[in-house]
Amino acid sequence: MHQEQRQRAHAHFKSRGIERALLANPYTVKWLTGFAPPVQVGFNFFAGGPPLVWYEDGHFTLLVVDAYATDTAAFDEQVDGAVITHLGYTIEQPLAGTDHLTAALRQVTGKSTGGKVGVEEREVPAYFLAVAHKMLPGGADFVPVDGWLEPLRMIKTGEELVKLRENFALADIGQAAARRAVAAGKREIDVWTEIHSAIQQAAGRRVPLGNDCVVGYRQNNIGGWPLDYEIRPHDSLIVDLSTILHGYWSDGCATYYAGEPTPQQVAMHRTVQEALEFGMSLVRPGAVAREIDQKLRQFIAAAGYPVYPHHSGHGIGVIGHEAPRIVPYNEERLQEGMVIMLEPGIYLPGETSVRLEDALLVTADGAEVLTKHDKSLP
Amino acid sequence: MHQEQRQRAHAHFKSRGIERALLANPYTVKWLTGFAPPVQVGFNFFAGGPPLVWYEDGHFTLLVVDAYATDTAAFDEQVDGAVITHLGYTIEQPLAGTDHLTAALRQVTGKSTGGKVGVEEREVPAYFLAVAHKMLPGGADFVPVDGWLEPLRMIKTGEELVKLRENFALADIGQAAARRAVAAGKREIDVWTEIHSAIQQAAGRRVPLGNDCVVGYRQNNIGGWPLDYEIRPHDSLIVDLSTILHGYWSDGCATYYAGEPTPQQVAMHRTVQEALEFGMSLVRPGAVAREIDQKLRQFIAAAGYPVYPHHSGHGIGVIGHEAPRIVPYNEERLQEGMVIMLEPGIYLPGETSVRLEDALLVTADGAEVLTKHDKSLP
């Protein structure tokens, strides 16, 4: 699992003279190993430290608490990766996850040849870096490598596309449930529970769910978690959903109405639909992120509406927002194999709002739409 | 909010000669400030680092990304606490949350008198510790303070009891929904979505939910997330629920049956009920954790059943498992104001299992049961 990611990382480190590294960024760990701990109620209590990856001589070793042993089995079978699980929960002695993780770290660093060592120093806790420093022969020459692997994540592998497609299909199921659920008299949270139930029943398991479920009459009607605001006749409801299955994110947004939308809402909705279609027509290899952003904003402004204050879109993968960002300053060019979201919107604070969002896989000559949810007016 | 916690922490640090500290353990931060970031889909992408607390001269300053500004407002109003929010998300420039958090950290450490500085070094990322080191006058003499505040968390404040009671009431709602939902032909995940919907609709907002929802015929029928195992006639279903509202956890377990339980299940269920009642009768100030654990295990063994392999119980608060642990080695004595869970069970792997769990507030002369869910046989 995720061998191609490790090959890319190895080549990148090698080209920059890094032959060993201590990695702890959770997105790095997920991308390199495929290991995706559950996030619904936070990380395992008993771990004593974050999952760490030790890289040396082209091999990657994942150090992780035993509670997650089964989740790492697929990675362990790969020739260029290994897993060391350490004791977490026990009733026989005081909890000492940190000591056990430290022992695992000593095991890998104690065999190291030492020298220059890349470190994700923005993530590795100071304590574990000190342990590595003590164990590495002749001390260690630490080199910060935070962010180094992020650009490598932009082009999705075949394996990642399978995971992403599965997530987008789940989000589509959630959007269909939302369309059925929205009605005057229900609250945002009521619609949300119907969405989440439909997704989890389809997946046959728990699936974390973000992002927004907000009625148009909220003052901040761009986004927010579902609360107990009641949906009234003709209210708009923005439903922006991200599922996280196998550690990969989906995303997608639609806007629904309680009964008939007003003429103003119809006009706004059509404008956003046209903007999204226009934006999608711009997506192809070589397109500049900044230019797509600018053209989308101009489209909304030309229709006489206030321009949305957020990004026009973003990449997606092991995290909900990845490179490339579709924002005013970004000169990056799209490349085949990227997966990006586009999400124009119009917001009249305290009145009504609309946002529509699709996911696009950049192909050799354009784009494939990965989200299939219905974004039409009722 | 949480002033009493900060007073306790201040007194403890002072008694051990620590006049300033850099804290990053998420449970420390939550307990000291009351600030509880959402956990459903992981921490804010754009923060660039964990929430940090700087302690100096008896004052606590929370450094946190602007996305959470409203969640920290209650803390900010307190005289012995302050909040510095830093920029996270922006579309005008590349994301640089780490730089902005660094600037906030420089702001507080740059004004410090320096000297001995307590550090939660198992949590503070190496990078931020290096920043603090550079800013503190004359370098810093770092002292690890990991775990120092954990014992102080055992006795709950009045404010914490309000939050805990609200969570236990939500878990009760979930258990009532579970009792209604369990039926042959449904899957674990179907029951789970009914539980979660009932809880979130009652709360009027998203509420993270743990822990277990497992049919008796699973090989590991002690615990696990709900999957697509179908409930068959006479199957047992263990439902162990934790809600997390305002950053505090509830916990509680019951066992339900699809239709009539078998005579064997009835006998097991009654034994566990009696064990739990017996255990609860032992809870009072001065009772030794290890002895409660031992007596509960002996009760199950005396009834002729295999003894459960997990703890007999545990404290609860800003995290689902806190001190005091009710386990074989623990010599700690219960004190008034502690909140503990008791959870005896009987497990016949691959056949059937039962666990019942209640929460108890240790009072001056015994205990008050905080969980009100129905644990009776059908």
Q: Which of B93, B128, B153 is the last residue of a domain?
A: B153
Q: What is the mean pLDDT of chain B?
A: 96
Angle between helices B289-302 and B263-281 (to 10 degrees): 150
Nearest-angstrom CA–CA distance, B63 and B132: 13
DSSP helix/strand/coil, B205: coil
User: What token pair was written down for A13?
Assistant: 């480190």
Contact flag B201-A194 (C-beta cutoff 8 Å): no
Question: Residues B201-214: what's their mean pLDDT?
Answer: 97
Percent of chain B with pLDDT over 90: 91
What is the 3-state secondary structure of A48-90? CCCCEEEEECCEEEEEEEHHHHHHHHHHHCCCCEEEEEECCCC
Per-residue pLDDT of A227-249, as tens digits, reads 999 999 999 999 999 999 999 99
Q: Do residues B244 and B320 share a domain?
A: yes
Q: Is the dihedral of CA A122, A123, A128, A134 positive or negative?
A: negative
User: What token pair was written down for B115?
Assistant: 């000297």
Res. B119 pLDDT band, cuts 50 70 90:
very high
Question: Residues B200-208: what's their mean pLDDT?
Answer: 97
Q: Which residues of A60-81 are buried (b: 16+ CB within 10 A; e: fewer)?
A: bbbbbbbbbeebbeebbebeeb
B94, B228, B311 ranked by CB distance to A91: nearest = B311
Residues of chain A with pLDDT below 50 are none
Nearest residue to A94 (alpha-carbon basis) of B35, B296, B330, B345: B330
Nearest-angstrom CA–CA distance, A211 and A208: 10
Per-residue pLDDT of B51-83, as tens digits, reads 999 999 899 999 999 999 888 877 777 777 899
DSSP helix/strand/coil, A292: helix
Q: Give the C-alpha distances (Å, rounded to integers) separating B40 from A43, B9, B238, B272.
A: 11, 29, 23, 33
Q: Do residues B124 and B188 share a domain?
A: no
Q: Do residues A220 and A138 share a domain?
A: no
User: What token pair was written down for A334?
Assistant: 């799209």
Contact flag B197-A201 (C-beta cutoff 8 Å): no
The pLDDT, as a whole number, for residue B168 is 98
Q: Do residues B290 and B332 share a domain?
A: yes
Nearest-angstrom CA–CA distance, A276 and A278: 5
Q: Does B184 touch chain A (CB under 8 A)?
A: no
Q: Do residues A207 and A305 share a domain?
A: yes
Q: Does B38 touch chain A (CB under 8 A)?
A: yes
Res. B180 pLDDT band, cuts 50 70 90:
very high
Range of the domain at B80: 3-153
Contact flag B189-A204 (C-beta cutoff 8 Å): yes
Nearest-angstrom CA–CA distance, B172 and B194: 13
Residue B374 lies in a domain: no
Q: Does B327 touch chain A (CB under 8 A)?
A: yes
Residue B377 lies in a domain: no
Length of chain A: 378
Best B22, B119, B189, B225 member to test A by mutation, with max A CBs in 10 Å, is B189
Q: Which of B153, B185, B201 is the last residue of a domain?
A: B153
We report the CATH number of the domain holding residue A122 as 3.40.350.10
A126, A194, A320 ranked by CB distance to B124: nearest = A126
Nearest-angstrom CA–CA distance, A66 and A94: 16
Please, which residues have CB within 8 angstroms of residue A259's CB and are 6 or more apart in sequence? Answer: A183, A184, A233, A234
Residue keyed to tokens 């989000």 = A171
Q: Do residues A148 and A165 share a domain?
A: no
Q: How many CB atoms lie within 10 A of CB B134?
A: 12
We report the CATH number of the domain holding residue B241 as 3.90.230.10
User: What token pair was written down for B319?
Assistant: 């995290």
Q: Does A150 touch chain B (CB under 8 A)?
A: no
The pLDDT, as a whole number, for residue B241 is 98
Residue A35 lies in a domain: yes
Nearest-angstrom CA–CA distance, B60 and B81: 5
Nearest-angstrom CA–CA distance, B61 and B84: 7
Nearest-angstrom CA–CA distance, B129 and B125: 7
Provide the ipTM.
Answer: 0.96
Q: Give the C-alpha distances (Å, rounded to integers) separating A130 from A57, A87, B142.
A: 22, 21, 13
Q: Do residues A238 and A105 share a domain?
A: no
The pLDDT, as a whole number, for residue B79 is 72
Amino acid identity, residue A269?
A: H
The pLDDT, as a whole number, for residue B172 is 98
Nearest-angstrom CA–CA distance, B315 and B359: 9
Nearest-angstrom CA–CA distance, A362 and A280: 10
Nearest-angstrom CA–CA distance, A145 and A18: 9
In A, minimum Cα distance to B48 occurs at: A122
In A, minimum Cα distance to B119 occurs at: A126
Contact flag A227-B204 (C-beta cutoff 8 Å): yes
Q: Do residues B255 and B314 share a domain?
A: yes
**How many distinct structural domains can be found in chain A?**
2
Q: Do residues A172 and A141 share a domain?
A: no
The pLDDT, as a whole number, for residue A288 is 98
* Cβ contacts of B121 on chain A, cutoff 8 Å: 125-127, 130
User: What token pair was written down for A135?
Assistant: 């164990």
Residue keyed to tokens 């579902």 = A226
Residue A378 lies in a domain: no
Q: Which of B123, B153, B183 is the last residue of a domain?
A: B153
User: What token pair was written down for A378?
Assistant: 């009722």
Q: Does A111 touch chain B (CB under 8 A)?
A: no
Q: Do residues A141 and A164 share a domain?
A: no
* Cβ contacts of B321 on chain A, cutoff 8 Å: 45-46
DSSP helix/strand/coil, B105: helix
Residue A375 lies in a domain: no
Residue B378 lies in a domain: no
Q: Does B281 touch chain A (CB under 8 A)?
A: no
Burial, A143: exposed, middle or buried (Cβ in 10 Å; 0-12, 13-18, 19+)? middle
The pLDDT, as a whole number, for residue B373 is 98
Q: Tell me whether strands B322-326 and A236-245 are parallel, antiparallel or unpaired.
A: unpaired
In A, minimum Cα distance to B98 occurs at: A122
Nearest-angstrom CA–CA distance, A80 and A4: 11
Q: Do residues B185 and B241 share a domain?
A: yes
Q: CA B155, B156, B162 angle in degrees (round to 5)?
A: 165
Interface of A with B in 216-245 (CB under 8 A): 225-228, 242, 244
Report whether B163 contacts A175 (CB < 8 A). no
Distance from CA of A263 to the nearest CA of B (A): 31
In B, minimum Cα distance to A208 occurs at: B41
Beta bridge partners of A52: A63
Q: Does A285 touch chain B (CB under 8 A)?
A: no
Residue A126 lies in a domain: yes
Q: Do residues B23 and B121 share a domain?
A: yes
Q: Which residues of A217-252 are buried (b: 16+ CB within 10 A; e: fewer)?
A: bbeebbbbbbbebebeebbbbbbbbbbbbbbbbbbb
Phi, psi angle pair for B313, to nearest 5°: 170, -175
The pLDDT, as a whole number, for residue B73 is 76
Residue A374 lies in a domain: no
The pLDDT, as a whole number, for residue A114 is 81
Q: Does B350 touch chain A (CB under 8 A)?
A: no
The pLDDT, as a whole number, for residue A66 is 95
In A, minimum Cα distance to B133 occurs at: A126
